Each structure stands twice: as C-alpha cells, then as structure tokens.
Amino acid sequence: MNQNAQSLIYSYLNADQSVFPKELVGQLHANDISAQDIEFWLRKGRPVKAPSDFVPGKLSREIPLTCDHVNYDTHFFLYLPRNYQPEKPSPLLVIGHGGNGNMSKAYARQIAFLSIQDWISIADQFGFILVAPMTEKGWGNMGYAIVFSLISKIKRWYSIDPDRVYITGHSMGGHLSWRSALALGDRFGAVSPMSGGYDYVARDMMPLLWNVPGYATFGSQEPYQIDDYNRKMRSWIKKHGYNWIIQEKPGGHEIFFDELPRVAGFFLSHPRNLYPAKVWGQGGRKQAVDQPDQGWQRIHYWNPFKPIPKGCFHWLRIFDRPDLREGEKQKIVGEIRKEENAIHLISSQVRKVRIYLHPHMINFSQPVRIMVNGETLYEEKPHPDPAKMLYTIREFDDWGRIFYTWIDLEIHTDRQPEIWGTGPEPGDFFA
C-alpha cells in the first residue's frame, strides 16, 4: 500500500481551498497513487480531534456553530452515548426541532434542548451520537446549511460512520426530515419524519422516496391536515412497495415514545448504499442550494464556493435547466445491469447528466455501455481518476462518497420515466 497516499490525501481533503488545485493531479501521478490506494485510506476513516470537555453520558452545553455555506451563526447540543468508544465509528443522528420560521433564539434553544433529551435513552441503548441544532429561521435552505455544516463539524471531532448518518425531527423538524428524504436522500442512511409533511403526492414528488428508506409517525388527530397528508402518502407507498413505514398512532401532534426504539432499529438496519441498482432523479429549474430562502436576500450572504448540491441522486446527477418553464421538471430513472456491464437511463427534460462509477457497480476492466432513452451514448472502458475521486469527496465533504470516476453525457431526447411498482417492470420499459 502506497504510504505517501495517506498524508497527501488527508492534507488535500482537510484544506480550506475552494477550488481543486491543478498540482494535485501531478502529485498523485508522481507518487503512483491509485484509486484503490485512495479508497483504502478513505475507508480507514478521517483524522479526528475531539474536544476534551465533552464526556460520554452527559448532555453538552450549547455549542457555537458557524455555517460553511452562509454567514449565519447558531448553536447546537451534543450527546455522546455512555458506551461511546473513540476508536469505533459511531452512527450519527441529527434531530431537527419544531417551531416555526420566525421564532426567538431563546425558544429555539429551549425546544432543541428538549428535542435531544427525548433521544438520550435511545442513544445509550443503540450507540448513536446525537446532535440537535437550533434555528430561528426555519429548516428551508438555511436549515440545510445548518445541518450539513454541523455534520461536517462532528465528523472532524469524532469517528462517524459516513454511511450511518440519519435525520429525524418532530413538527417543523418532521418537515425537514421529509424534505431531506426528497431532496437529499443520498446523504442519509434513512430518515424518520414525525408529525410533519405536506401533500407530496399532489406535488408529484413521491418517486424520490425510492432513494432512501424511511420510518414516519403521525397522530390520528394532527393539525394542519398532517394526518390526511400522511395517510395519502402511506397509501401511495403501500401501492408502490417502497421501503417505508408510515405509522399512525392514536393521539395528536406529539412524539410517540414507544416508536423511538423501532425507529432506532430501523436506522441501524439501513446503512446508506451509494451504489443501488436503481435510482430516481427529479428536479426543477434550480438544483444547487446556493441562494437563501425567499425574503432573506438582504440579510444573508451565500458562499459561492460552498453550494449544497441538490441534483445528485446516489450515482446519478442532473444539472440546472434555467430554461425550463415554471412547473416543468427534469425526471430520470437509472438501472445498473451488472450482467451486461451496462447502465440504462430513461429521462425527460434532462439535458446533462453525470454518472458516477465504482467497481461495485460495473466492471472497469471491460467497456461499459450507457444507454439513454434506448440510444447508446457511451461504450468505452472507463478509467479510474484519483483526481475526480478526491474532488467529489471534498465537494460534498463526505468521505464515504467514494466513486472512481464520472462520465458526463449530453442528452437530446425525451422519454417519460415510469414509476416503479406500477405498470411494466423496470426491465420492460428499459428495454
């Protein structure tokens, strides 16, 4: 194993540079660092440096958090389980609190503190590290900046399994959990919305739930039609056979504590898989979250070098279509056929797609065929590219996002994707 790889990889990935340094490519070649070398060191975990004043079994004081993506500062609470072992990668659970998008900092602090306390016994039982960030701005684009900045910070403090990061939340935090599943499902192993959600069936967003498992709970007498929306989504999911549980409980807008151990067990039985055989991608005119929520433009300034990529769906990525009309959507489905060493895509309104590749998906020693809407657009032997590997890791700040290279394709045809679970099977409409 190339011993020069470790220091070079770590120094690059931990650097604050916003652009990919050209000299890195030469250094990788000069040191004979292969894609396998990079994956080996990435799988060993990133260097961590935990603060000395946080101890297992004791809820932290509020801790400052500066967002990477926007000039916004907040705080969070941290809990290390009693059985925490520094040398063992731990699962991480992000807890989004309830409230509204125009609340006081004092109230946000109080409700975040109460939210993390609800999960402490579960953390001790199942070994989760808990974090509960605060927001008085809601959980929209600002919320994503808070969540991903916090995940990045905790991964630098503690040994976190990058494929066992989960998110949950109640009420407004339930909305966050649903939206995280729909827009950013490839960031989490599983999600658990509690007493949240809107009519995502009517909004034509439900197929995106294919990409991430979920365990949702709601009361039979929720306000704001949350109960009606969850029943409607449960019916859709049952019809299509997605890996989701939506549990209705007697009661109202509350946390159902008897469900928490089941949610924790569901989480741990669903580590993230970045190389699934099938994925669904969907998006509108803007994919990258690099703008604030409507109404905050004159208050917050977003870092153009640190966008939060949204148009990525595991190994598929679609790019912006500024020319799309209001209400139009890009849709794409993908299937890996290992026996053919091929990838089949069906897309509508997509004009550029990036396909990330890993040996778990295809055989790099043979040509891989990529078909889009029945037409072969790529048939070559792909070559591992260490520079692209490291670029992807740092773009997402996700050491578990390991792909050996990517292929960019321009698409000029359209074919309406089918929703899995109804009509023909994927093998039929991908023919």
Residues 230 and 288 in one domain: no
Query: What's the pLDDT at 6?
Result: 80
Q: Distance between CA atoms of 387 and 361, rounded to whole angstroms?
A: 20
Q: Which of 28-42, 243-257, 304-318 has the highest mean pLDDT?
A: 243-257
Structural domain includes residue 28: yes
Query: Please, which residues bridge with residue 331 across strands?
Result: 282, 348
Residues 141 and 204 in one domain: yes
Residues 341 and 359 in one domain: yes
Read off the pLDDT band of 5 (50, 70, 90). confident
Query: What's the pLDDT at 15?
Result: 66
Average pLDDT estimate for 69-86: 95
- Given a cut of 80, is residue 213 above it in pLDDT? yes
Query: What's the pLDDT at 430?
Result: 41
Kindly report the backbone phi and psi dihedral angles of residue 2, in degrees, each rounded to the nearest multiple of 5, phi listed first: -65, 110
Residues 297 and 424 in one domain: yes
Average pLDDT estimate for 224-232: 98
Query: Please, which residues bridge with residue 133 across strands?
Result: 76
Residues 8 and 72 in one domain: no
Please report, in angstroms and rounded to a whole number, the separation of the first and last CA atoms in the chain: 42
Q: What is the CATH number of the domain that holds 244?
A: 3.40.50.1820
Structural domain includes residue 52: no
Average pLDDT estimate for 201-214: 96
Look over the chain and give the mean of its residue pLDDT values, rounded to a whole number: 91
Residues 38 and 85 in one domain: no
In the numeric block, the tokens 């008085």 are attached to 136
Query: What's the pLDDT at 380?
Result: 97
Average pLDDT estimate for 300-311: 84
Average pLDDT estimate for 186-204: 97
Residues 325 and 223 in one domain: no
Range of the domain at 169: 63-268
Question: Which candidate, 140, 148, 137, 96, places its Cα nearest to that of 119?
Answer: 96
Query: What's the pLDDT at 398?
Result: 94
Residues 232 and 325 in one domain: no
In the numeric block, the tokens 């970045």 are attached to 274
Looking at the structure of the chain, the number of domains it has is 3
- Given a cut of 50, is residue 431 above it in pLDDT? no
Using alpha carbons, list the distances in angstroms from residue 209 to 105, 183, 278. 33, 9, 12
Residues 262 and 146 in one domain: yes
Model pTM? 0.94
Residues 108 and 169 in one domain: yes
Average pLDDT estimate for 183-198: 97
In the numeric block, the tokens 């958090």 are attached to 65
Show the tokens assigned to 48.
């961590």
Read off the pLDDT band of 22 (50, 70, 90). low
Query: What's the pLDDT at 297?
Result: 56
Residues 258 and 378 in one domain: no
Query: What's the pLDDT at 45?
Result: 87
Read off the pLDDT band of 118 (50, 70, 90). very high
Average pLDDT estimate for 276-294: 82
By mean pLDDT, which of 33-42, 92-101, 378-387, 418-427 is the weakest? 418-427
Q: Distance between CA atoms of 60 and 53, rounded to whole angstroms?
A: 9
By mean pLDDT, which of 53-57, 78-82, 282-286 is the weakest? 282-286
Structural domain includes residue 48: no
Average pLDDT estimate for 73-86: 96
Q: Distance between CA atoms of 243 and 181, rounded to whole angstroms?
A: 12
Between CA 2 and CA 399, with CA 33 as vertex, the angle to 5 degrees is: 95
Question: Which candidate, 86, 92, 114, places its Cα nearest to that of 268?
Answer: 92
Query: What's the pLDDT at 289?
Result: 76
By mean pLDDT, which of 173-187, 354-368, 371-385, 414-428 is the weakest? 414-428
What would the 3-class secondary structure string for the chain be? CCCHHHHHHHHHHCCCCCCCCHHHHHHHHHCCCCHHHHHHHHHCCCCCCCCCCCCCCCCCCCEEEECCCECCEEEEEEECCCCCCCCCCEEEEEEECCCCCCCCHHHHHHHHHHHHHCCHHHHHHHCCEEEEECCCCCCCHHHHHHHHHHHHHHHHHCCEEEEEEEEEEECHHHHHHHHHHHHHHHHCCEEEEECCCCCCCCCCCHHHHHHCCEEEEEECCCCCCHHHHHHHHHHHHHHHCCCEEEEEECCCCCCCHHHHHHHHHHHHCCCCCCCCCEEEEEECCCCCECCCCCCCCCCCCECCCCCECCCEECCEEECCCCCCCCCCCEEEEEEEEHHHCEEEEEEECCCEEEEEECCCCCCCCCCEEEEECCEEEEEECCCCCHHHHHHHHHHHCCCCCCCCEEEEEECCCCCCCCCCCCCCCHHHHCC
Read off the pLDDT band of 423 (50, 70, 90). very low
Contact present, 247 and 217 (Cβ < 8 Å): yes
Query: What's the pLDDT at 428?
Result: 40
Q: Distance between CA atoms of 243 and 186, rounded to whole angstroms?
A: 15
Q: Which of 268, 289, 304 represents a domain boundary (last residue)?
A: 268
Structural domain includes residue 53: no
* Other residues' Cβ atoms within 10 Å of the Cβ of residue 326: 6
Average pLDDT estimate for 36-59: 92
> Phi-psi region for residue 30, left (φ > 0), alpha (ψ -120 to 50) or beta?
alpha
Structural domain includes residue 51: no
Q: Which of 237, 268, 299 represents a domain boundary (last residue)?
A: 268
Structural domain includes residue 34: yes
Using alpha carbons, list the distances in angstroms from residue 292 to 63, 64, 71, 135, 171. 24, 21, 11, 14, 22
Structural domain includes residue 54: no
% pLDDT > 90, the chain: 74
Structural domain includes residue 358: yes
Query: What's the pLDDT at 155?
Result: 96
Query: What's the pLDDT at 21?
Result: 58
Q: Distance between CA atoms of 134 and 112, rounded to whole angstroms?
A: 6
Q: Which of 224, 240, 268 represents a domain boundary (last residue)?
A: 268
Average pLDDT estimate for 227-233: 98
Query: What's the pLDDT at 24?
Result: 72
* Other residues' Cβ atoms within 10 Å of the Cβ of residue 24: 19
- Given a cut of 80, is residue 201 above it in pLDDT? yes
Residues 252 and 106 in one domain: yes
Read off the pLDDT band of 33 (50, 70, 90). confident
Using alpha carbons, list the distances in angstroms from residue 252 to 119, 156, 168, 337, 400. 20, 39, 18, 46, 39
